[in-house]
Homo-oligomer: A and B are copies of this chain.
């Protein structure tokens, strides 16, 4: 049980401030350098990319978060500071030092993230000039949100309030990501800030659970970025009874809801996307395979292109299922497209194609549901359609 905070942002929880400036790192004159900070030190948890090529900020932030504490996050867009060798790590550390100096905290309390082009050095002169100009405020979360966007067309943020035995706490979250998005954490940037008092071990576990059911179930293009990460800061200012495994259900539910909202927003705002695709796999052999099947279907270029064209070419859904690795018995398989059954026990079911095309044309959300009838594994994945626009965006990104 939680309440949505109208116009909530990552700085909605007590004691969090955020701000951003136009530092000139992006070629367009847009917000591109931002800080989120807490008035007091926070417990911190992070989940990082599984790509073996890690950006310099990822390497640095993994080191800084290892002790489970942090007080600020500094982020830039327009340059990923990835594949930049030793100098890249020096630059990431420089960025942490500059933010720490500005906030009068230790550099080790600062987490760093960068997003944008790979293989290009960070323009440190612009970072050095920009950081002192950032003015973090209570209402600065929206600016922070805009400053971390790259090819995103819409901001992605949300805050909720939870009442735990009469004491209220808040969870605010923000994310970016519209390309190079594929399951296996953390294929985007996401920052979550809460004023809840949370036990450190549970904070880590809760973040992993939330990420597994949300961001790790999103695929936009199958590419996993070297840059990306999710940070969760908890400053404890809400003064609730400490949250742990035994009383953590409401916190977990609210955190997962924030992450799921942000994950679906990312899928809906995938590069060139016009539709959100939700894939539900039911009665798979187990949950692991249900996840794998749902993600494979949500990521299939042929399924995505068909949905883009409002083409009920469901054979591609079944073909993607068949290569997912999940056990399938064709003669047990039921498939639904926007709640119309198109396959029953492995045989095609005739449907009104004109009606289906019309329904697909008129829906921004397409629902694909498969019932494998083999066990009790269930999972949901999200993706987006594949449009000509995706190719256009990605064929001229650095040139």
Those of A69-90 within 8 Å (CB) of chain B: 80, 82-87
A396 touches B319 (CB 8 A): no
Residues from chain B with a CB closer than 8 A to the CB of A54 are: 322, 330
Interface: A205 (CB within 8 A): no
Closest 3 CB pairs of A and B: A118-B315, A309-B395, A53-B322
What residue in chain B is nearest A360 (Cβ atoms)? B399
State which of B302, B308, B353 has its C-beta within 8 Å of the C-beta of A179. Answer: B302
What residue in chain B is nearest A393 (Cβ atoms)? B305
Q: Which of A28-36, A124-132, A217-225, A235-243 contacts B (4 or more CB under 8 A)?
A: A217-225
28 A/B residue pairs, CB under 8 Å, sorted by A: A52-B322, A53-B318, A53-B319, A53-B321, A83-B318, A83-B346, A83-B348, A85-B346, A85-B347, A119-B314, A120-B348, A180-B319, A182-B323, A222-B222, A224-B319, A224-B322, A226-B322, A301-B301, A305-B393, A306-B394, A309-B397, A311-B399, A312-B399, A387-B395, A388-B388, A388-B391, A390-B391, A391-B391
What residue in chain B is nearest A272 (Cβ atoms)? B391
Interface: A106 (CB within 8 A): no
Copy number in this complex?
Answer: 2
Interface: A327 (CB within 8 A): yes
A381 shortest CB reach to chain B, Å: 16
B117 touches A83 (CB 8 A): no
B226 touches A319 (CB 8 A): yes
Interface: A7 (CB within 8 A): no
A222 touches B300 (CB 8 A): yes
B396 touches A311 (CB 8 A): yes
Chain A: residues with Cβ within 8 Å of the partner, total of: 73
Residues from chain B with a CB closer than 8 A to the CB of A311 are: 395-399
B395 touches A308 (CB 8 A): yes
A256 shortest CB reach to chain B, Å: 25
A119 touches B348 (CB 8 A): yes
B323 touches A184 (CB 8 A): yes
B390 touches A318 (CB 8 A): no
**Per DSSP, are chain A's interface residues mostly helix, strand or loop, or mixed?**
loop
Separation of A391 and B390 alpha carbons in the complex (Å): 9
Interface: A357 (CB within 8 A): yes
State which of B52, B312, B327 has its C-beta within 8 Å of the C-beta of A323. Answer: B52
Residues from chain B with a CB closer than 8 A to the CB of A330 are: 52-54, 83
A396 touches B323 (CB 8 A): no
Residues from chain B with a CB closer than 8 A to the CB of A222 are: 222, 299-301
Looking at A322, A347, A386, which has the most chain B CB atoms within 10 Å of its CB?
Answer: A322
Looking at A120, A313, A393, which has the most chain B CB atoms within 10 Å of its CB?
Answer: A313
Contact with B along A210-236 (1 / 0, CB 8 A): 000000000001111110000000000
State which of B85, B184, B348 has its C-beta within 8 Å of the C-beta of A348. Answer: B85
State which of B87, B315, B395 has its C-beta within 8 Å of the C-beta of A119. Answer: B315
A318 touches B119 (CB 8 A): yes
A310 touches B399 (CB 8 A): yes
Task: Contacts A321-B53, A388-B388, A391-B391 given; indicate if A118 touches B313 (C-beta within 8 A).
Answer: yes
State which of B83, B310, B394, B397 has its C-beta within 8 Å of the C-beta of A301. Answer: B394
Task: Contacts A53-B318, A323-B184 given; indicate if A306 touches B397 (C-beta within 8 A).
Answer: yes
